Amino acid sequence: MIELIPKWIMYEEFWRALKRRNLWLIRLRYAAAVMLIGIIAAGALFEHVYIDSWVIAGLFCFILLYNATFHRLHRLLPDGYSAFHGLHFALLQMTFDFIALMALIYVTGGVESPFFYFFIFHVIIGSLLLPMQVISLLITATLFITLGGAMMELHGIIPHQNVDGYMPCPMYLNSTYIGVHFTILAVTLFISNFLANSISKELYLRERSLTEAYRQLEEAEVAKSRYVMSVVHDLKTPIAAASTYLDMILDGSLGTLPEVFERPLERSRLRLTNAINVVNDILQLTQLKLEDKPDFSNVNLTELIDEIYQEMRILFVSKKLRFSTWINSEHDVHVEAERRLLKLALSNVISNTHKYTPSDGKVEIHIREKDDKVRIEIADSGIGIPPQEQKKIFEDFFRSSNAKRLGIEGTGLGLSVVSHILKQFNGSITVESPSRLATGPERPGSAFFITLPKSYSPPLSLVGNTEV
């Protein structure tokens, strides 16, 4: 019994790959239809060769019609296994192709037709889509039909469709030629089927093992993230408790503190605060990795950035940083994202401009709409990022050497969180340093460029330049 669906192909990625290959076959068939037009042109070019152009044109219309039907049906084909799945679709395509090719062979000389060689291509392509037994059945049926047609032409039962000027001798009347021709054709087709299908099966099995290994890695990553989240969360409690006791000691709640102890305890409290920040960042990043795909919505980017600035305004004013925004649009700009996560990402980048920009510096945000994208530039006149370190700046726990040298506290996870969030929104982030706000070698500045998918929404309000 022929098995259309072998057990070794029952995995999700196979069905997705099969759907892509079915589409590839449809596109290839359009090229084959164009080739028929070339046959008609060749017949007109060579005066001594006569081909019935109307018959070829009719075959061209038939192929174009059923291919267009398959193209439309392909859009309705599910990605996975169903009652009518990709293997049924591939078998239907291959059956129509074999019928069309047999018709082309008959009208171009039957056993004398040079298009018999095209069966080899069809068998190889079919072996990439269907099991070997199915293709073997198609080969057997094809050989039976074409051999039967050749024998009926030999005995005058059906008319021979001759291509005038192609062969000087009528080989369709030579029984020896017919026998040798079909013997070699049968051996070639069955060997091609065996070799192509063996290679295809090996590739599918390897793809299946890789898919399974990737799934196991994903499960291990989730388990590891949950373990890290549990451990880190447990660490946070004693650190927070120790920080609370230090606060009570330093504010005098537990009695007068000798002056000699104040500085060591202040530094201890600072270290514990930094440790809590590290723990929070790790929890935040781990939570992002464990979350499912975000729910996309229409986010008013203009309002969101203004909201972030208002929350951080006191920080910029305290350092006397000049903060300004500019938008190349008369209306609010909207993007496709999840508002909560996008706010977290933008807040991390904007807060970094405050952290790494000395007093009396500049911070500018430029928003540009272009085609279906929105580009956000967040630039500052701060300490910058050394060129050799810019590719590593989005890695977990990486901090630039100049930030460490200047003693600026941080965890090295902020930009990693930003990058992870933006990837979920089909966005991206890059960095340039020096920036256009550079004021000298000591203050080259940095510029972060964020790209997000644009969301189309009616104008909500007019937005101009703002400056603080």
Domain 297-467: state its class. alpha beta
Helix (H, G, I), strand (E, B), or coil: what is residue 426? coil
The predicted pLDDT at position 417 comes to: 83
Distance CA 452, CA 296 (A): 12
Distance CA 281, CA 417 (A): 8
Distance CA 398, CA 382 (A): 18
The predicted pLDDT at position 300 comes to: 92
Distance CA 173, CA 187 (A): 23
Report which residue type is found at 127: S
CA angle (347, 353, 354) in 5-degree steps = 90
Packing angle of the helix pair 259-290, 414-424 (nearest 10 deg) = 20
pTM score, two decimals? 0.51
Q: For the chain, what's the residue count?
A: 468
Structure tokens at 89: 């679709």
Q: Is residue 20 exposed (0-12), middle (13-18) or buried (19+ Cβ within 10 Å)?
A: exposed
Which residues, given as ranges, of the chain have pLDDT below 50?
1, 48-49, 458-468
pLDDT, one tens digit per residue, over 364-383 is 999 998 888 999 999 999 99
Residue identified by tokens 């919505």 is 297
Q: Helices H, strands E: what count in the chain?
A: 11, 8
Cα 360 to chain centroid distance, Å, stands at: 44
The dihedral sign for the CA sequence 240, 241, 242, 246: positive
In the chain, what's the furthest Cα-to-Cα distance? Answer: 121
Nearest to 56 by CA among 71, 67, 41: 41
The dihedral sign for the CA sequence 143, 149, 155, 161: negative
Report which residue type is found at 251: D
Report which residue type is found at 79: D
Contacts of 11 (CB under 8 A, 6+ apart): 208, 211, 212
Which residues on neighbouring strands pair with residue 367, listed in sequence order? 327, 376
Report which residue type is found at 161: Q
The predicted pLDDT at position 41 comes to: 67
Structure tokens at 182: 């079909």
Residue identified by tokens 């790209």 is 451
CB 352 within 8 A of CB 411: no
Helix (H, G, I), strand (E, B), or coil: what is residue 350? helix
The predicted pLDDT at position 384 comes to: 93
The residue extents of the domains of the chain are 7-218, 297-467
Backbone angles phi, psi at 177, to 5 degrees: -60, -45
Packing angle of the helix pair 414-424, 339-355 (nearest 10 deg) = 150
CA distances from 362 to 55, 64, 365, 383, 445 (A): 76, 63, 10, 12, 9
Structure tokens at 33: 């239809």
Does 434 sit behind a cis peptide bond, omega within 30 degrees of 0 on the bond before it? Answer: yes
